[in-house]
Structure 1
């Protein structure tokens, strides 16, 4: 499956159930933008290629086994291709030992005595850079904007990627790979918050399934395969990174973030640009003074202030466990996977291609089956990974991996990798749906810090035991990680499917008339909520609809002038209480006489951009 095919699938799948000429045009743009950002972020997995070394290599017609990835000739070692055979047989043996990719591990002899590998692997160096970057990118994105942080990350990261291959020095290589890691922190931590806040709720899960990390990995593998050498592959990847930079330049800052920062003029301009991108003609607005809030807005909270809420603290703890265990398991399996098949490229393509297909299937299933929530997907994926990693442990201990035919090992490996890969979808959905908007990027950066710590630990674990008699210990680490995450999530993880991102962590309170008026004036927002129906038709029916849009469910916003008391508390109120609502919101969960408003007004549809 090529990246071009995957992109076309995204466009055609969404085009079948929506009007791409108007309403959902921005949704498609967000899907493609996030895929491009994922493409650059897979520099984290490019280390699989950078650390590659063959098990057998030929130097001047003498083929020897490579020990501990130290790529250098050994004249005293036995020749792996016997010489007492015909020339054709020997040439065939040498051809089978041909390297798949020329890496810096081989060029700089990183793992040889006296090499940089004795101090630190290039994987650890880059992951430490990503760890450092995540310590400040979230804060800066929450303070100065998601779009601005993404542009800075890419403008800095692209030259760093070029310089890492340009200079013929292992020290320069390590320094610039460290800086690439810092820039990748920006695209990984902020890219999700940027795109999730502008895509409609209907397609939010597709943002993590159709536009996946594995699609970006497929492109990275294809570039490395075509280039053949790490320097040329690095240059090509830097050129490809210009695409996400151009996409982010075109899009505006998320209106949700601008409103939270009380930048009402910028918010209005962002909505107009989204309307223009959607093909609508924005209506003329009054002066900026008329757009000012007519009553106090909800108090802004810092990340540490938000943590005073008990439920929000629990949500952050659960997310930290999920992300740490997923980061440790994913990278331990991935960095250990270059020899899952005899031919490295076959294994890498099949692994990434299967992961992309499974994500698309999960995306369809999420839309079709309302009962298939984030919690069920995560628990099922973790349970599967526990069984698969246990099987891998047994197979490695029994020597099945070293057999000529390792089909069973490869199948088990595919199950282990893809089950843990699927768990990242609920991870990212939880990061968006369990955390309030004003601290979402900061929290995502915190989660990425936790993940980068796990990545460094994974790189050290694989580097220590890979290719040794104790290689099975890598799977012990993976198994332990999955079991811990399984126990925590089955006990504490809350379901968030269909939750409104605007409401997460807030009390149920009225918006100012000016804010509601601004949302109602946006053609994209009102049209997106209507779908194929007119606003007047659906507005009269949606009084009893919740976030999922099902008639008859309690908890949806009440419309019109008749404000009725909601008996027994709504499902939406319960969600707010679970997701860290304030004390005021908790009191209202038992039923409130105050009309609930969520950016709607009578006869108007719910604004999709604010979810």
Structure 2
């Protein structure tokens, strides 16, 4: 099928003019099939980058490991020496028993090499600088947090494709330079840049993925995302087992990112975005390419939107101001953000500290990654059998209960391992279901900006995760108590959302379903206003009758 100037051939009898900007994107994607090859290509490209995202995050669990160390004294004057009865490896003492920080002339840190060379051992991130090791994770997430709102706004204005690809390439390059950093400051700078790029992988990539598949396939699209994420997660553990030098480990995990350059020739723009922007040329190119790639012709007349609003040819342009002007959107923004913060804090805390679940670093880590595979796979039929809301509530509530049970577990290594793994499994199902509600509920014209704000705020949980383990020093029950309680509250927040399963993606603000609670408030408010109008009319009638009498 060839599309020219908004005209499609309709056989020998002639041609009929079709306004491509009035196409329904969901109908077009459905017409090309549930597993349309061109749509599956876009879906695969956007999700395969999660291998890179998972690897660059989880590698920190291994390269920030702190080996045992001591302070070696090589003082020719014999005025400094370690105190034999002290367990403090951070200090040395002079002949008058005055302490000095290790690292002054004639002293240096000596690390146990049994776990290899880590960031901590190469850059002496111990003692006074002990907290700096976790900064590599935090600075990465801060970069992602700061970039997300900007990239989200840009993607709604200039398109998903370029605003997805450029950050991906930035991340690939920055990660390679992380492995080559001459000092820890340069490492943090490149980690920050990698975090900036990762905002494209998470915020833009997820929306582009959802907008690239048909309505019938949407319940299944978390599947490949789960597989690619777990692949990146497990690759870190496998390579870390054999590569004990942090630079080589980071480099080996990062260098495949160069292959993402092929995205330039393979990744299409979002059809949903092009239709809302009245990009006729882009729509024509997409349909022609999809028809050729899928080897399947479609009847565009059957893919027209039922409403003709916006048919004047004007593109609909929205910004963050449109969100801030709407009480409905602000209400749901708060709810989605809280759920995202709770989920991020839960996931990253369990993941980053999974190396502590077992005596060796690898068993707990590998199990924590593997448990996401069956839970991610079972989420697919669950999404088809149950509503989005019921599955989201059940998974969020379950993950909270599993960790709350951990609060009451004492001296049981098996339960201390099993309960976090069950919580991680429930969390994987929650990620598969909750993240579908947002793109299915929020209109296309503000979807990426809205999602970007949610991702921006969710990084609060991600940034806090590396440090939550320190609460164990206060009380070992605090981390599971906080994570479990926040998850239970997040579960009940789901009831305020509308059910979105099987619903076409809303295009603009007028298509927004505000959910049962806000709809109930609106009906009550409308009923109250109608009662006031009726009361006023009845009062006027009564006054008129009194005057007439």
TM-score (norm 2): 0.73
Query: Residue 75 of structure 2 aligns with which residue?
Result: none
1:106 aligns with 2:125: no
Structure 1 residue runs of 5 or longer lacking an equivalent are 1-17, 61-72, 79-96, 285-292, 401-405, 508-574, 587-611
1:410 aligns with 2:417: yes
Matched position secondary structure for 1:205: helix
Q: CA 1:412–1:58 in 2, change beyond 3 Å: closer, same or farther?
A: farther
Q: CA 1:474–1:283 in 2, change beyond 3 Å: closer, same or farther?
A: closer
Query: Residue 195 of structure 1 aligns with which residue?
Result: 209
1:499 aligns with 2:503: yes
Aligned partners of 1:231, 1:75: CA distance in 2, in Å? 35
User: Which is further off, 474-483 or 257-266?
Assistant: 474-483
Aligned partners of 1:99, 1:393: CA distance in 2, in Å? 34
Query: Residue 465 of structure 1 aligns with which residue?
Result: 471
Aligned partners of 1:99, 1:394: CA distance in 2, in Å? 35
Cα deviation for residue 120 of structure 1 reads: 6.4
CA deviations on 1:80-124 (whole Å, 9 max, x unpaired) are: xxxxxxxxxxxxxxxxx98456431332232x1242625962222
Query: Residue 93 of structure 1 aligns with which residue?
Result: none
1:215 aligns with 2:222: no
1:32 aligns with 2:44: yes
Aligned partners of 1:294, 1:322: CA distance in 2, in Å? 37
More helix, by proportion: 2
Q: CA 1:216–1:373 in 2, change beyond 3 Å: closer, same or farther?
A: farther
Cα deviation for residue 578 of structure 1 reads: 3.7
Cα deviation for residue 350 of structure 1 reads: 1.7
Aligned partners of 1:19, 1:302: CA distance in 2, in Å? 31
1:69-218 equivalence runs, <5 A: 99-100=114-115, 102-110=117-125, 112-115=126-129, 117=131, 121-212=135-226, 213-218=229-234
Cα deviation for residue 307 of structure 1 reads: 4.6
- The one of 340, 353, 365 equivalent to 1:348 is 365
Cα deviation for residue 164 of structure 1 reads: 0.9
Query: Residue 429 of structure 1 aligns with which residue?
Result: 436
1:344-423 equivalence runs, <5 A: 344-367=361-384, 369=385, 372-395=386-409, 398-400=410-412, 406-423=413-430
CA deviations on 1:428-450 (whole Å, 9 max, x unpaired) are: 21221121111111112111111
Asked whether the equivalents of residues 442 and 506 of structure 2 are also in contact (C-alpha less than 8 Å), the reply is no
Matched position secondary structure for 1:197: helix
Q: CA 1:19–1:357 in 2, change beyond 3 Å: closer, same or farther?
A: farther
Q: CA 1:262–1:487 in 2, change beyond 3 Å: closer, same or farther?
A: same
Cα deviation for residue 187 of structure 1 reads: 0.9
Cα deviation for residue 269 of structure 1 reads: 0.9
Cα deviation for residue 76 of structure 1 reads: 6.1
Aligned partners of 2:83, 2:354: CA distance in 1, in Å? 26
Query: Residue 452 of structure 2 aligns with which residue?
Result: 445
- The one of 251, 266, 269 equivalent to 2:267 is 251
Aligned partners of 1:250, 1:185: CA distance in 2, in Å? 21
Query: Residue 329 of structure 2 aligns with which residue?
Result: 312
Query: Residue 233 of structure 1 aligns with which residue?
Result: 249
Aligned partners of 1:330, 1:460: CA distance in 2, in Å? 13
1:269 aligns with 2:285: yes
Higher radius of gyration, 1 or 2: 2
Q: CA 1:474–1:152 in 2, change beyond 3 Å: closer, same or farther?
A: same
Q: CA 1:143–1:21 in 2, change beyond 3 Å: closer, same or farther?
A: closer
CA deviations on 1:382-424 (whole Å, 9 max, x unpaired) are: 22122211122223xx344xxxxx2221111101222223211
Aligned partners of 1:473, 1:217: CA distance in 2, in Å? 27
User: Which is further off, 441-450 or 496-505?
Assistant: 496-505
Asked whether the equivalents of residues 142 and 192 of structure 2 are also in contact (C-alpha less than 8 Å), the reply is yes
CA deviations on 1:530-567 (whole Å, 9 max, x unpaired) are: xxxxxxxxxxxxxxxxxxxxxxxxxxxxxxxxxxxxxx
Aligned partners of 1:236, 1:356: CA distance in 2, in Å? 24
Asked whether the equivalents of residues 145 and 253 of structure 1 are also in contact (C-alpha less than 8 Å), the reply is yes
Aligned partners of 2:32, 2:231: CA distance in 1, in Å? 23
TM-score (norm 1): 0.66
CA deviations on 1:490-545 (whole Å, 9 max, x unpaired) are: 4x1322111111456434xxxxxxxxxxxxxxxxxxxxxxxxxxxxxxxxxxxxxx
Aligned partners of 1:98, 1:387: CA distance in 2, in Å? 40
Asked whether the equivalents of residues 319 and 430 of structure 1 are also in contact (C-alpha less than 8 Å), the reply is no
Cα deviation for residue 19 of structure 1 reads: 13
Matched position secondary structure for 1:380: helix
Q: CA 1:204–1:227 in 2, change beyond 3 Å: closer, same or farther?
A: farther
Asked whether the equivalents of residues 341 and 461 of structure 2 are also in contact (C-alpha less than 8 Å), the reply is yes
Aligned partners of 1:75, 1:40: CA distance in 2, in Å? 47
Aligned partners of 1:22, 1:450: CA distance in 2, in Å? 34
Query: Residue 475 of structure 1 aligns with which residue?
Result: 480
Aligned partners of 2:252, 2:133: CA distance in 1, in Å? 29
Cα deviation for residue 172 of structure 1 reads: 0.8
Q: Aligned residues, how many?
A: 448
